[in-house]
Amino acid sequence: MDYASSILGFLPGVRRSTGISELLDKLETYLPPAQIERVREAYEFGAERHQGQTRVSGEPYITHPVAVAGILADLHLDGDTLVAAILHDVMEDTPTAKAEIAAIFGQVVAELVDGVSKLDQIQFKNRQEAQAESFRKMLLAMVRDIRVIMVKLADRMHNMRTLGVMPPVKRRRIARETLDIYAPIAERLGLYAVKLELEDLGFRALYPHRYKVLEREVKRARGNQKEFIGKISESLKGTLGKAGVGGGVEGREKHLYSIYKKMRSKGISLNEIVDVYGFRIVVDSADTCYRTLGLVHGLYKPMPGRFKDYIAIPRVNGYQSLHTTLFGPNGVPIEVQIRSEEMHRVAESGIAAHWKYKSGGDVFGGIEHDRAREWLAGLVQIQEGGSSEEFLESVKVDLFPDKVYVFTPKGKILRLPTGATAVDFAYAIHTDVGNRCVAAKVDRRLVPLRTPLRNGQTVEIITAKGATPNPSWSSFLVTAKARAAIRQYLKNLKRGDAIELGRRLLNLALEEFSLTLKKIPQAEIDSAVKELNLRDADDLFEKIGLGERLAPLVARRLQPAGGSESGGAAHGPLMIAGTEGLLVTYARCCFPIPNDPIMAYLSMGRGLVIHRQNCGNLSEYRKQPDKWLPVAWEADRVRLFSSEIQLEVSNRVGVLAAVASNIADTETNIDHVTLEERDADTSALTFELQVRDRKHLARVIRTIRRMPDVQRVHRTLA
């Protein structure tokens, strides 16, 4: 049946250039007639909705979604995916609702189209936030149905093929996004052919001159080595034939973007790229792969340290192959990949290689799909808390596939990014394990939690009931899941601190009216919360603690009707113990310590920032008197506080060590020290110390002042 003829007759003005004829011809090779009919109906619907719309090139807009469906047809995807591909822009570019698509083509298609659509209807602060939020939506839709990303990747591939008509600035932006996000996603899903095309198209659009130069040089090298590749291929085929191993051998060229990345990362020239040319051997089974490896190593000597077994330990996207680099004729290095036919199919098509059409529906299967699902499920945890931009950056880090493979004590293999630490490993097992992690053993030996892991190590995590994450871990974490878990913990911790601080600040402000929160009727608090469009009283206290609401204004709102402006009560200072948590910080311009006269500045989003009263920055801040409040030190304090002293010393060998030794004798920790040479005779030393209070600091200064090489010592003041 010629479906194209009926369509072209149905829609006047739509030419064969839309590509529908070619698409339907492809579908007849693997889809049943009922599914092809649905695709035809989707084309009629899409063409009618996009009627009058054109691309930048001047072609009818419908040519784009048809081309996207054609790319997916090459991967033999199912009818629902192809219908969604043809309709993927109707919600965004035409007044078509999701409900209408669901009514005509089914809920599955509607969800796929919605997952791909951008969020143009929502107002964002900037383009970056809009792109990041759109990306977040698309990836989370992938968790529900992985076909969303298949449509998006095909959409991006066709846009990249036709990118030449775009202005240069837009062309570079789209190319950068393709290289940063979409090509790595294709690789993560095992869509190797898609990844290669996206990378080379992105490279050509982003760096057109570099692309042309590299393309020219590679063609020149290829011309010189055609005969060389032929000889190697014949040698490999001959060796396999003599051993009775059946298999195909083909010469393989590294694609341009891969060559460019290697040249940049290693700082080497094209001539120094070891594996620009390689060979792929495809045999019948995994057992034959290892036998073939032995034959190849017998023909040419292997290069030490250049063998990788991705059959025993597949890559994260399910890719399997044996990789080895050999010393070929005249010592020329050649790379050989050995894989089975099934492995080759997966290497080229990834999750699409396991697409099965069944009477009950369409399903993905295979190890690639399981791993893709595992990664996508992790995205749900990564996106909890934080902005869309943070989510996008986390996913970028998680996409790049440089991995280390480590073992749990029971022998399970975990794949982690290069540089991952023991804490990353703990969170990879489970968020609760990461949160309660207190120590780690690598190959049965205790190691610091920040220790980077290496291939083949066995890692054991030691947990403790009641343990909590350490905020300092965020400085060395690598995986997106671990960073997201720490961010969520800190967010909750900060909220708790903010609520407690806000409660104290409001009680302090209420003293002016001879009131406390306990004396305020709950109905009055609820009324104020409702008036300020907040959820509950804790939300109000949090806003006050974060400096987003001023406690005196809220206190004035809460005083009973007819109450006096001031009850005459003494407005005492807020007492500071040093244990208030994340929402009370100590200014590093003046380093306040107990017994210093202090003031507090209410900083938006940071809570209270404590300054010494003689700090030079107070003159600037006092232009906002409503943001300042009196504070004082509580009598009982248990923590140490940072302070800074500056010294002028004689230039003498060992003077720094002598000063540090005298400071240590006063039972004082040194956090940081800097040295600056003033002239030939003197140097300036700055020490950041941990002290209990002013008395402790005074004892340190007296001890240092007695040293003969110390000319001057004083406490730092902004």
Q: Are 218 and 205 in a shared domain?
A: no
Tell me how far apart the terminal alpha carbons of the chain are, to the nearest angstrom: 85
Residue 375 lies in a domain: no
From the list 253, 321, 326, the residue with the least C-alpha distance to 295 is: 326
> Residue 665 is part of a domain; what is its CATH number?
3.30.70.260
Q: Retrieve residue 18's tokens.
A: 């839309």
Q: Are 76 and 198 in a shared domain?
A: yes
Q: Are 649 and 622 in a shared domain?
A: no
In terms of DSSP H, where are the helices of 162-191? Answer: 168-177, 183-188
Res 251: pLDDT: 81
Residue 547 lies in a domain: yes
From the list 574, 612, 617, 573, the residue with the least C-alpha distance to 593 is: 612
Residue 317 lies in a domain: yes
Model confidence over 289-313: pLDDT tens digits? 999 999 999 999 998 888 888 888 8
Q: Retrieve residue 573's tokens.
A: 């200072």
In the Cβ-directed half-sphere of 227, how many Cα atoms lie within 13 Å? 1
Residues 6+ apart with CB under 8 A from 646: 684, 685, 686, 687, 713, 714, 715, 716
The arithmetic mean of pLDDT across residues 100-107, rounded, is 93
Res 520: pLDDT: 85
> Residue 427 is part of a domain; what is its CATH number?
3.10.20.30
Q: Retrieve residue 177's tokens.
A: 């996004």
Res 276: pLDDT: 56
Torsion of CA 281, 284, 288, 289, to 10 degrees: 40
- Helix (H/G/I), strand (E/B), else coil: 1: coil
Q: Are 618 and 534 in a shared domain?
A: yes
Q: Are 49 and 191 in a shared domain?
A: yes
Output the CA–CA distances (angstroms, integers) from residue 554 to 548, 608, 623, in the order listed: 11, 17, 21
Task: Give the domain extent around 604.
Answer: 488-629
Final residue in a domain of this structure, among 305, 330, 352? 352
Q: Are 551 and 693 in a shared domain?
A: no
Res 56: pLDDT: 87
Bridge partners of residue 446, in order along the sequence: 441
Output the CA–CA distances (angstroms, integers) from residue 355 to 30, 94, 112, 124, 345, in the order listed: 12, 31, 17, 38, 12
> pTM for the full model?
0.53
Residue 467 lies in a domain: yes
Whether 12 and 56 have beta carbons less than 8 Å apart is answered as no
Q: How many folded domains does the chain comprise?
A: 5
> Residue 319 is part of a domain; what is its CATH number?
3.30.460.10
Bridge partners of residue 608, in order along the sequence: 584, 602
Which residues are identified as catalytic? 92-93
Q: Are 169 and 41 in a shared domain?
A: yes
Q: Are 494 and 603 in a shared domain?
A: yes
pLDDT exceeds 60 at position 98: yes
Q: Are 165 and 32 in a shared domain?
A: yes
Model confidence over 121-180: pLDDT tens digits? 434 445 555 555 556 655 565 556 778 888 888 999 999 999 988 898 899 989 988 887
Instruction: Please tell me the total number of residues recorded for the chain in this structure.
Output: 718
Residue 478 lies in a domain: no
Least confident of 408-422, 455-469, 483-497, 681-695: 483-497
In whole angstroms, what is the distance from residue 559 CA to residue 195 CA?
A: 65
Residue 133 lies in a domain: yes
Output the CA–CA distances (angstroms, integers) from residue 188 to 131, 152, 284, 481, in the order listed: 21, 14, 25, 16
- Helix (H/G/I), strand (E/B), else coil: 662: helix
In whole angstroms, what is the distance from residue 404 CA to residue 420 CA?
A: 8
Res 565: pLDDT: 45
Q: Are 202 and 215 in a shared domain?
A: no
Q: Phi first, then psi: what are they for 496, rounded to 5°? A: -60, -45
∠ Cα 257 261 266 (to 5°): 155
Residue 526 lies in a domain: yes
Final residue in a domain of this structure, among 305, 320, 352? 352
Model confidence over 34-93: pLDDT tens digits? 999 999 999 999 999 999 999 888 889 999 999 999 999 988 888 999 999 999 999 888
Higher-pLDDT residue of 340 and 361 is: 340
- Average pLDDT over the chain reads 80
Q: Are 548 and 447 in a shared domain?
A: no
Whether 322 and 308 have beta carbons less than 8 Å apart is answered as yes
Final residue in a domain of this structure, among 191, 209, 227? 209
Residue 186 lies in a domain: yes
Sign of the Cα torsion 473, 474, 478, 480 reads positive
Q: Are 539 and 592 in a shared domain?
A: yes
> Residue 153 is part of a domain; what is its CATH number?
1.10.3210.10
Angle between helices 367-382 and 480-510 (to 10 degrees): 20
Res 704: pLDDT: 93
Res 360: pLDDT: 36
pLDDT exceeds 80 at position 711: yes
